[in-house]
Amino acid sequence: MRLLLLGAEGQLGRHLSPRLSAIGELISSGRAGGDKPCDLASAKQLSTLLNTVQPKVVINAAAWTAVDAAEDQPRAARLLNTELPDQLAGWCQRHDALLVHYSTDYVFDGHPGRAWREDDATAPASVYGRTKLDGELAIRASGARALILRTAWLYSACPGNFLSAILARAAQGESLRVVSDQYGSPTWAGSLAAVTGDLLQRVDGWHDDDPRAMVLHAVDRGQMSWHEFAVMAVQTAAQYGVIEQPVEVAAIDSGQWPQKAKRPSWSVLDLGALETLLGRALATTQQALTACIKQWNRQ
């Protein structure tokens, strides 16, 4: 089975590569690296890539992920988050290939009084959330066989995410101020890559009556505020020697940390459907964080 990984140099893409290589013949693509570099903003380049590689599975880990910048550059965000998955789904539908795509907890806003389920009503409050939701809708409308994994608060040892940013400051002995009124499901990119691999191993076992496009929530098991996650991260990093000692983590309100894009105050995702499909419990936030921190100095 030939698999094409897009966004191979992103934090999720880097964790996916070894998992996907174990499943089949992997062709990776980054903006300027991988086996077949491609600027995914160019429909023509993407078309050439797909027609040359002829994958049976396309895994799309590429996206516009700069949530605040999307408010000022909605056209660029839409190109990657809506038009790219639309083009991928169209190609997969015509070539009977499977599309694996990632979406976000930011498709939700409000509070249902429990974790969000896959079929709850969406109401994105940001340009990023809107463009990601429109990407989901385009895939579902295409008739392609697709797996849409909604994830949240992704972190890894790669630079450019919440965990690496706070640990870089904590390593300098700086205290932290972190918002305590937004709740979600922090997720290690390594956990999501493992889940993706497990799901792909089961593709043949999916029932004929499964919908062509399946939406699943895929996060680590836990619900907490950014502040609670920062405290857990600092303590775990100190325990494993990534920082010398824990630093102070002050809790603040969102109002004290102004951001251009509105974030949901509650975006905890329900894992029931995914755990039933996989037949196993997902890693807890602490288990996944510990696994990530243990790899820290090796990345």
- Catalytically active residues, by annotation: 128
Residue 280 beta carbon to ligand NAP: minimum distance, rounded to whole angstroms = 22
Residue 266 beta carbon to ligand NAP: minimum distance, rounded to whole angstroms = 15
Nearer to ligand NAP, 90 or 264 (CB): 264
Nearer to ligand NAP, 180 or 267 (CB): 267
Q: Is residue 229 near ligand NAP by the rule CB under 6 A?
A: no
Q: Is residue 40 near ligand NAP by the rule CB under 6 A?
A: yes
Rounded distance, CA 169 to CA 96, Å? 47
Interface positions, 250-289, toward ligand NAP (CB under 6 A): none
- Which residues have CB under 8 Å from 244's CB, separation 6+? 171, 173, 238
Residue 151 beta carbon to ligand NAP: minimum distance, rounded to whole angstroms = 5
Contacts by residues 17-23 (CB-CB < 8 Å, ≥ 24 positions apart): 18/193, 19/193, 19/194, 19/196, 19/197, 20/59, 20/196, 20/197, 20/200, 22/197, 23/197, 23/200, 23/201
Q: Is residue 9 near ligand NAP by the rule CB under 6 A?
A: yes
* Contact with ligand NAP (CB under 6 A) among 50, 53, 80, 288: 80
Interface positions, 48-77, toward ligand NAP (CB under 6 A): 61-63, 65
* Pairing relationship of beta strands 224-225 and 154-155 according to DSSP bridges: unpaired
Q: Is residue 31 near ligand NAP by the rule CB under 6 A?
A: yes
Are 239 and 174 a contacting pair, CB within 8 Å?
no
Are 111 and 158 a contacting pair, CB within 8 Å?
no
**Residues contacting ligand NAP: total by CB under 6 A:** 23
Q: Is residue 154 near ligand NAP by the rule CB under 6 A?
A: yes
Q: Is residue 36 near ligand NAP by the rule CB under 6 A?
A: no
Buried b (16+ CB within 10 A) or exposed e, 4-19: bbbbbbbbbbbbbbeb
Rounded distance, CA 101 to CA 251, Å? 34
* Contact with ligand NAP (CB under 6 A) among 91, 153, 183, 188: 153
The residues of the shown chain that bind ligand NAP, judged by CB under 6 A, are 7, 9-13, 30-31, 39-41, 61-63, 65, 80, 102, 104, 132, 151-154
